[in-house]
Every structure is written in C-alpha cells, then in structure tokens.
C-alpha cells in the first residue's frame, strides 16, 4: 500500500522523468487524477465478481499479475507503456484495498475483522511514514531518477504478493488433500 501511495504522491515527477516531456507529463497526470476515482467506481462489478464468485487464490493471482505488469510497464520510458501502467493502477488500487479487507474477513473471521483489518491498515500507515524520506532520497541523492525506487517497490510488491499467493495456495491445497 505504501507503493500505491508513493505513486499517487509522485505521479507527475515520475512521468516527467520517464517521458522527458513536461506538457505530456502534465496532460497524463491530469488524466490520471480523473481516472483514479473513476477506476474505483468502474471496477466495482469486476472486483465484486472476483471476490464473490472466484476463489481467494484466484483473486490473489489477479492482484499479483496486475502488480507485476503495472510495475514492469511503469519502468518503460514510452507513452503507451506509461498509459497502460496507469490504467492497470487505477483498477489495481481499489482491488488491493478491497482484497485485503476480503482476505482478512475470510481468514480471520468477521468477529475479529475490525481488529485485524485495523492492524493491517495501521502497519500500512507506519510503512507510509517512509515515503517522505524515500522521496527526498530520490530527488536529492538519485537526482530525480525513479528507476531504482520503482525496481525496489516492484520487487518488494512481487515478494509480498507472491508470498501471500503462495500461502493461500498452500492452504487451499492442504484443504483439498484432507
């Protein structure tokens, strides 16, 4: 979630870095600010279907794949790649937040949902405290080069989503074997 918030915080600077065109970066950023809430609204039917009618494992795979594709395309200095990355991002963001809540409810039960979901959001908030120092590092020490932090973010996202997806797969596999 820190990665999501960092991208929202730095979308213009990242587009300017990767595309090298101020006007284009500004135009795509304006489009992003319109698409971000619309992605949440337009994604409701798909997210609802995914979480209500597919397995938790399948939903985690969708989150994993979307995160990997978003991260990979976000590193490509081309308008089409950045645009597709943004399109995936505006869908991935509400999916991620909804998936986390859905997962907490299904795994830990709804009797403790508030505690578990609150803890998950608190941990995400603590990780969010590193965003300002990371931004200072990128702008000062790395002279505005976002490749390093984007690779690190994509790698950590892949590890976290991959581990969660693997654990879910292990759990569903164990249930099928019993």
Q: How confident is the model at residue 50 (pLDDT cuts 50, 70, 90)?
A: very high
For 71, counting Cβ atoms within 10 Å of its Cβ (0-12 exposed, 13-18 middle, 19+ buried), the class is buried
Tell me, yes or no, whether 89 lies in a domain: yes
Tell me, yes or no, whether 178 lies in a domain: no
DSSP for residue 137:
I
Distances (CA, A) of 96 to 12, 17, 93, 116, 147: 22, 26, 5, 16, 23
State the pLDDT at residue 175. Answer: 61
Q: How confident is the model at residue 176 (pLDDT cuts 50, 70, 90)?
A: low
Does pLDDT of 54 surpass 90? yes
Task: Report the domain count for the chain.
Answer: 1
What CATH number corresponds to the domain at position 89? 1.20.1250
The mean pLDDT of 77-85, rounded to a whole number, is 97
Q: How confident is the model at residue 113 (pLDDT cuts 50, 70, 90)?
A: confident
Tell me, yes or no, whether 176 lies in a domain: no
Tell me, yes or no, whether 177 lies in a domain: no
Tell me, yes or no, whether 34 lies in a domain: yes
Task: Report the alpha-carbon distance of residue 159 to residue 72 in Å, rounded.
Answer: 14
- pLDDT tens digits along 122-147: 988 888 899 999 999 999 999 999 99
Tell me, yes or no, whether 113 lies in a domain: yes
Task: Report the alpha-carbon distance of residue 117 to residue 102 in Å, rounded.
Answer: 9
The mean pLDDT of 85-93, rounded to a whole number, is 96
pTM for the full model?
Answer: 0.88
The mean pLDDT of 14-41, rounded to a whole number, is 96
| Six-digit token string for 166 | 């693997």
Tell me, yes or no, whether 56 lies in a domain: yes
Residue 151, helix vs strand vs coil: helix
Q: Give residue 44's domain range.
A: 2-170
Average pLDDT in the chain:
92
Tell me, yes or no, whether 175 lies in a domain: no
């Amino acid at each position: 979630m820190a990665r999501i918030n960092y991208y929202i915080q730095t979308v213009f600077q990242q587009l300017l870095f990767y595309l090298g065109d101020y006007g284009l970066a500004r135009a795509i950023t304006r489009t992003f600010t319109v698409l971000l809430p619309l992605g949440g609204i337009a994604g409701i039917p798909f997210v609802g279907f995914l979480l209500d009618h597919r397995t938790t494992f399948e939903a985690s795979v969708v989150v994993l794949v979307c995160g990997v594709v978003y991260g990979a395309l976000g590193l490509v200095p081309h308008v089409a790649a950045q645009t597709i990355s943004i399109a995936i991002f505006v869908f991935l963001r509400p999916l991620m937040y909804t998936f986390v809540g859905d997962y907490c409810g299904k795994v830990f039960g709804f009797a403790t949902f508030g505690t578990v979901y609150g803890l998950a959001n608190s941990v995400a908030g603590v990780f969010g405290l590193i965003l300002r120092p990371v931004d200072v590092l990128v702008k000062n020490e790395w002279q505005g080069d976002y490749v390093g932090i984007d690779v690190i973010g994509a790698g950590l996202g892949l590890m976290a989503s991959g581990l969660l997806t693997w654990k879910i797969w292990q759990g569903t596999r164990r249930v099928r074997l019993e």
